[in-house]
Structure 1
Amino acid sequence: MGKKNVVSIEDRIPTLKQERKKKANRRLIFYLSIFFLLISIIVYLQSPLSDVRTIAVSGNSFVSDEKVIEQSGIAKGKNIWTINEAEASRAIKGNPVIHKADVNARLPWKVDITVTEFNHVGYAVQNESYYPILGTGQILKDKEQQTASGDAPLLIDFSDEDYLTEMTHELKRLPESILKLISEIHWQPTDDNERKIKLYMNDGYIVDGTIRNFADNMSVYPSIVSQLDTESKGIIHIGAGTYFEKFTTSEEENSEEEESGNENEE
């Protein structure tokens, strides 16, 4: 029989000791890493390194960045870990112009605020100035403009705020495709109908209607126009009865003069 190699325990002791030492060193390095990591986190939390340095606001056009930041209650230098995102969002939505606000604290020191404003549905014409009107009926008096951008209709002669608010609520319900077809809306109350309005459309037609149920009544406008001769212009009556009334020669001339005058004003 061949001779077996036998390793005595004495020969194995140095190897075992070396392996134990390596394990102990690895364990020590692991614990030291955890310790220094915790120390770093504590230092970061307690130092200016965790203070807000940048606040970015987006999505706003009617409300300034400064106003949004002020209402959020967040300021540069505030510890980012103390920010309550939900509370800041609710505070910003307290602004009547803002519909939605998302606040996100991003490490290490940035805060992103994204707002969604209520859509403006028209411009109030007052003293030769134009003021955006929100779908809530609010006129933005601090946003006076000398010209209107043409992205929403002009609301003219609405001297009663109650009727103006009612009109804007109806405009808010209109599909955007129809809203963009409206150039001007004139309030022309009569003894029989205080809600009577006249619309001048961008495609050359005039609409005679009323504020009450305007959005529902106006929804048929595209289908009515599609059935008319493109060369035939006139007044489209919407309401209890919907029908088309072709311009007489004098009415057509008056309409063209009014449109020309309105363009000169703009």
Structure 2
Amino acid sequence: MAEKKIVSIEDRIPKLKESRRKKSNRRLIMYLSFFFLLIAIIIYLQSSLSEIKSVEIKGNDHVDRDTILSLSGLTPGEDNYWKVDRKALAKKIEQHEEISAVQVDKHFPSTVEMKIEEYQRVGYVEREGSYYPILETGKELTDQKLKNPHGDAPLLLGFERQSYLEEMTRELQQLPSSVTQLISEVQWTPSDKNPYKIHLYMNDGFEVEASIRNFSQNMRSYPSIIAQLEPGQRGIIHIDVGAYFEEYPQQEKEGEESDEANR
């Protein structure tokens, strides 16, 4: 029978002491590391290293960068990167009447990015030789007087009654952008029988006679109507209760072809 090895208490005490010493050293290193990390964080937060170095603004077409930066209240080189509240910042910028939504992202170590979504412009109303944008919300930007409107929305001409203009705006809001982009001008041409009558000039060379009422619904058929016409045909497309094509008289058609050839 094998004899059991007996370890005396005198032999075990040095090993216990060594184990306790190692544990104490590890604990001390951990505390010191945490202390120096805390000091480093405090120094970083109090130094220029934690300041916003750049603000990137994307997606804005009509609202300029300086306006957005002013609304945000951010000052690169002064404001602390870690103190930026993304939701609160977005709400500040969304107060602008032309901005529908803002997404704010923070990119370590010092960049704030803002992605802007603007309300679509559905038209430019003409008043005394100047043009004013109208947003998809129906808001007319009376403080933005333009001599030459942008080509991103149709011109709205002759709308002397505000109620008809507002109704026309609502109809344009509901029209697919693919069709809206084909419209160059919308003229209000009321008659005794139909005060809602309008005349459109299209970017593809056609004209359209329609009514403001149910315009967004009726105008959806425009692409399919012109697709059925023969190449070179030009005229007026009547879209109201029904839809039909009225070709220009031959003399008028020849005059237009001559004008195009001389250009």
Deviation per CA, 1:111-150, whole angstroms, max 9, x where unpaired? 222110012234445677665543234247547364744x
Which amino acid letter does the alignment assign opposite residue 35 of structure 1? F
The alpha-carbon distance between structure 1 residues 114 and 125, as it changes in their structure 2 partners (threshold 3 A), is: same
Distance 1:164 1:214 in 2: 13
- For residues 65 and 203 of structure 2, the distance between their equivalents in structure 1, rounded to whole angstroms, comes to 35
User: What does 1:1-266 align with in structure 2 at a 5 Å threshold?
Assistant: 6-76=6-76, 77-124=78-125, 132-137=133-138, 138-139=140-141, 142=144, 144=146, 146=148, 148-149=150-151, 151-252=152-253, 256=256
| Cα separation, partners in 2 of 1:61 and 1:203, compared to 1, 3 Å | closer
TM-score using structure 1 length = 0.80
Runs of 5+ unmatched residues, structure 1: none
Deviation at 1:31, TM superposition (A): 1.4
Q: Report the RMSD for the aligned CA atoms in angstroms.
A: 3.1
Residue identity opposite 2:13 in structure 1:
I
C-alpha displacement of 1:100: 0.5
> In the TM superposition, what is the alpha-carbon distance from 1:29 to its structure 2 partner?
0.8
SS at match of 1:67: helix
CA shift for structure 1 position 159? 4.5
223-232 or 157-166, larger mean C-alpha shift = 157-166
Q: 1-side partners of 2:174 and 2:98: how far apart?
A: 18
Compute the displacement of 1:232 (Å). 3.2
**Normalising by the residue count of structure 2, what TM-score does the alignment of the two structures yield?**
0.81
Q: 1:121 and 1:147, CA in 2 relative to 1: closer, same or farther beyond 3 A?
A: closer
Q: CA deviation at 1:107?
A: 4.2
The CA distance in 2 between the partners of 1:22 and 1:78, in whole Å, is: 45
Change (3 A) 1:143 1:99: farther
Q: Distance in 1 between matches of 2:219 and 2:243?
A: 10
> In the TM superposition, what is the alpha-carbon distance from 1:68 to its structure 2 partner?
0.8
Query: Which sections of structure 2, spanning at least 5 residues, go unmatched?
Result: none
Instruction: Give the CA deviation at 1:238.
Output: 1.1
Task: Specify whether residues 250 and 192 from structure 1 end up closer, same or farther in structure 2 by C-alpha distance, changes over 3 A only.
Answer: farther
The answer (yes or no) to whether the contact 1:199–1:206 under 8 Å persists in 2 is yes
Provide the C-alpha distance between the structure 2 equivalents of 1:83 and 1:148, rounded to a whole number of angstroms.
Answer: 36
Aligned equivalents of 2:51 and 2:163: distance in 1? 47
Q: Distance in 2 between matches of 1:200 and 1:124?
A: 15
Are the aligned partners of 1:99 and 1:117 in contact in 2 as well (CA < 8 Å)?
Answer: yes
CA distance in 1, matches of 2:64, 2:197: 37
**What are the Cα deviations for residues 203-239 of structure 1, in whole angstroms up to 9, with x where unaligned?**
3321101222211110111222233333433221111
Per-residue CA deviation, residues 74-130 of structure 1 (Å, 9 max, x unaligned), is: 333223344332222122111111010122344443322211001223444567766
